Structure formats: structure tokens, C-alpha cells
Amino acid sequence: MASREHHVLQIPELLELILAQLPMRDLLLAQRVCRRFNNLIQTSIVLQQALFFRPLPKPATPSPATTPKRPSWPPFEPSFSLPFPVSLPFPPPISNPGAAACKSRKQNVVPFPESAGQNPLLVAAFPPWFSRNMSDLSYTTDQCHFSRFKDLPLAADTPRRDAFLRPEASWRLMMVTQPPISVMSVVRITVHTRMTTYEEVEVRFPAPIGLTMGVLYDLTCQLVLYQNGGEFRVQWSKDGGHISLIVMRTASGVVGKEYMNYISRAYEGVSLDWPS
């Protein structure tokens, strides 16, 4: 006779309640346990929301008087010198994700607002995009040189890197935040010998998923690795509804061929309509 515990696991509604109590990493890996677990996690709206694969319902729209304005991005500070779906091996959480991959801006680290929750698995796996410092207008990541790709958790060894960068890796489909981000500004700053040019383009993402980590990572690789960007950072608005990807480069900058190993095999390029 089946045990009571086994009987409980046969009832989808009860199993969903149990799985919903798991930490995010454990819930993701629970799909390996058996076909029943996998089917339920794949089809449950609640569990898919917990894994950042489906969006949470949008909160009530604030009145116009309290609607936060989109912040303007602060000037970049150059510091470089140039003439799974399920088998993804997410790294263990680290206590200070920004320290390992980026240079400190010597600002006070503060919690990200609860109203705009970042994906905790992505925070651990891709710290340069998510480290949280406070500026007057927004939450901004540390300024990262392209060489910091070698410090990412995925770069620990070749098997791990290959697992992360395969086209079907689950992190590529994950939203970077809940609720999802629908608009991102891409800023390109190019330092020439006698002048500096600033270009900005706005990218909108279709509802309901919005911005996924696959798109954010690929776009960063495109601007920083393929197009010889020198440094990058991500600026988050305080309400979490808008982010800016800011890339700074020199006209003569060159990125070594070895960095092409950090581009996902799913990369196809993102078309950006830069102002002429």
C-alpha cells in the first residue's frame, strides 16, 4: 500500500503547494526528480512565475502624481587604457556578487527595492549585470572592463562554460526581474582622439515576457566583444521598470579573439536602430 506521503505527491494541487515552498534553485532542479515533477513544474503558472519564466501580474498603476520618472544615466568614468533547459549548472550563491567580477565604485551597497525583484539565480551567475550600488538617481552596477568576462562563474572551467553557453540553457529564457522589464535604453559612448560621441537607442520587448537574460547577455556580447567595447555597466531605475545598458569604448579599442569563447551558441545578433 502506498504511504500517505506518496499519496499526497499524486495530487497535483498538493504537490504544487509543496514545490512552491522550495528555494528557486531547488525548484529548478526538481524537474529532474521524475516525469510527474517535471510536467507539473512546466505547466504550473505559479511555479513558472517562481522560476521567472512567466510574469507576475502587474501591480496597480500608481497615480500620475506618484509615477516615477525615468532617470537619466550618469557620466561614465573611464578606467581602461587602450591605444533546459534544466541541466544548467548554476553556481552557488556568493556573498558579494559584484566584488568578483567588477571594480568597486566605492559607493554604499544597498538592497534592491522589493517592488522590482531581480532574479536571484541570475544575480549569482552574472554578477556584473546585477551588482547593486546606490547613486542619486538609480541603482547602478559597477563599471566592468571586457576582461571581466573571464571572472564570470561560467568561466570556471571549459565544461561549465560549454553548459552555460549552449542554446537551450534555461537561464536564457529567464526574465531578469519580476515584474518583467519592457523597455531598455542602450547607450554607446565612443572616445575619439579629439571628441567623444554619445548614441542612445531604446529597445522595447514584447509582452508578456519582456527582457530575458539571454537577450541582455547577447546584446552585451555584441557591443562589448564583437564591436570592441571597452567597458560596460547596467543602470537600474529605482522602481525597476527601466534599465540602461551603457557601453564605453575607444575608437582604437581591440578585444582579443579568446573572448569569443564567451559568446553563447544561440547568439544571432540584435539589430539596433542607432540615430544617424
DSSP letters for 120-150 = HHHHHH-GGGT--EE-SSEEEPPPEEGGGGG
Residue 216 cell numbers, joined: 541582455
* pLDDT for the residue numbered 30: 94
Residue 1 makes CB contacts below 8 A (sequence gap 6+) with: none
Which residue shows C-alpha cell 554619445?
198
Q: Where are the alpha helices (DSSP H) in 3-117?
A: 4-9, 12-19, 24-29, 35-43, 45-50, 97-101
Q: Which of 45, 36, 42 has its CA nearest to residue 12? A: 36
- Alpha-carbon span 13 to 147, nearest angstrom: 48
Give me 146's grid cell: 571586457
Task: Please report the pLDDT score of residue 249 as a whole number.
Answer: 83
Task: Note the pLDDT tens digit of each residue in 151-172.
Answer: 899 888 889 999 999 999 999 9
**Would you state the pLDDT for residue 262?**
87
Alpha carbons 275 and 197: distance in angstroms, whole number: 12
Distances in Å between the Cα of 60 and the Cα atoms of 50, 87, 100, 177, 211 are 20, 36, 38, 17, 21
Low-confidence ranges of the chain (pLDDT < 70): 1-2, 58-116, 131-141, 228-229, 239-240, 252-254, 276
Contact 218, 266 (CB under 8 A): yes
- Look at the pTM and tell me if it is higher than 0.85: no
Contact present, 102 and 127 (Cβ < 8 Å): yes
Q: Enumerate residues 6+ apart whose C-beta is below 8 A from 76.
A: 143, 189, 231, 233, 246, 248
Distance CA 220, CA 21 (A): 34
Task: Give the model's pLDDT for residue 150.
Answer: 87
Residue partners of 239: CB distance under 8 A and separation at least 6: 68, 113, 115, 116
